[in-house]
A = this chain, B = another copy of it.
Amino acid sequence: MKSLRFVGREFQSESSVVKVGGVSIGGGDFSVIAGPCAVESRDQILSTARAVASAGAGILRGDAYKPRTSPYAFQGLGQEALDLLVEARAETGLPFVAEVVDPRHVEAVSSVADMLRIGTRNMANYVLLKEVGSQPKPVMLKRSRTATVGEWLDAAEYIYDSGNHDIVLVERGIRTFETSTRNTLDISAVPVLKTETHLPVLVDPSHASGRADIVPSLSRAALAVGADGLLIDVHPDPPRAIVDGAQALTIEEFEALMGQLRALESLLG
């Protein structure tokens, strides 16, 4: 990790706090970003936004553009989804984060979203990293499922070096031989990152596991290990979700989890 200039602890010993809308990530509070994997309809995104806001989530997630392994899978609603996210924000007050996949769309998404997300497939898409590094909204950088911690920090360095210092890292599982989960959550990456970098670190237990049944226990582990928050899939009707329904919590499950996390946070805080 010798090539780091700006995102390393040597450059800045104090932990960074990133502001998303009016919400802080990294300032000691445990932030929960929740919502559906993809925006599917007006009713779906509005009902989910209301529910996660009411349960205590600070930021809404919901994608307009989905990078999918197959070209024949649902690719997202695009601009229509962005409009619905704006409407959900107006109603609930929740700022929202949305993925960008094309450098030519960065300006359009940046003009409406509160935070841009770089997905796991694009962590090493340096063209896109420079583009989000050149606009003013904070950036959420997910780990590539095949990146070492060092390569991930190098990717963050691309964004920082392009002028944008508001970067949040999200551990979302790496690829291993184990098959009982979709990926293997590298929980150790959280304390390792806390040593190496001043940037905030979140955990995405939904994509890491692909299994809603273990998302609550992994969420508690993320809080206990020292993460700054969670990125979590919530859907009003998971079996009917178009994308990744098997890993989404129902609204009731999410509310129960939030209660557990609040109790744990008050102890560990």
Interfacial residues, chain A to chain B (CB-CB below 8 A):
3, 5, 67-73, 101-104, 121-122, 124-127, 144-146, 148-151, 154, 157-158, 161-162, 174-181, 184-192, 195, 208-209, 211, 213-214, 217-218, 220-226, 263-264, 267-268
Nearest neighbor of A5 in chain B, beta-carbon distance: B72
Query: In the complex, what distance in Å separates the CA atom of A144 from the CA atom of B120?
Result: 13
Could you name 25 residue pairs across A and B whose Cβ atoms are closer than 8 Å?
Answer: A69-B151, A69-B154, A71-B126, A71-B162, A101-B127, A102-B103, A122-B125, A174-B178, A178-B189, A180-B188, A180-B192, A181-B188, A184-B184, A184-B188, A185-B186, A185-B187, A188-B208, A188-B218, A192-B211, A195-B213, A217-B226, A221-B224, A221-B225, A224-B225, A263-B267
Given contacts A104-B103, A178-B174, contact A221 B71 (CB under 8 A): no
Bound complex: CA A264 to CA B225 (Å): 12
Q: Which residue on chain B has the smallest CB distance to residue A151?
A: B69
Bound-state Cα–Cα, A122 to B125, Å: 7
Q: Which residues of B contact A67 (CB under 8 A)?
A: 124, 126
Partner of A180, one of B125, B148, B223: B148
Residues of B within 8 A of A149 (CB): 178, 180
Q: Hey, which chain B residues are within 8 Å of A178, CB to CB?
A: 148-149, 174, 186, 189
Given contact pairs A71-B158, A213-B191, A224 touches B226 in the complex (Cβ within 8 A): no
Q: Beyond the given A177-B177, A192-B211, A220-B225, please list 7 additional residue pairs across the A-B interface where CB-CB is below 8 A.
A: A3-B70, A68-B126, A121-B125, A184-B188, A187-B218, A192-B214, A217-B224
Q: Contact check: which of B69, B102, B185, B195 meets A127 at CB < 8 Å?
A: B102
Q: Which 5 A/B pairs are nearest by Cβ-Cβ distance? A: A146-B146, A224-B224, A121-B124, A191-B214, A221-B225
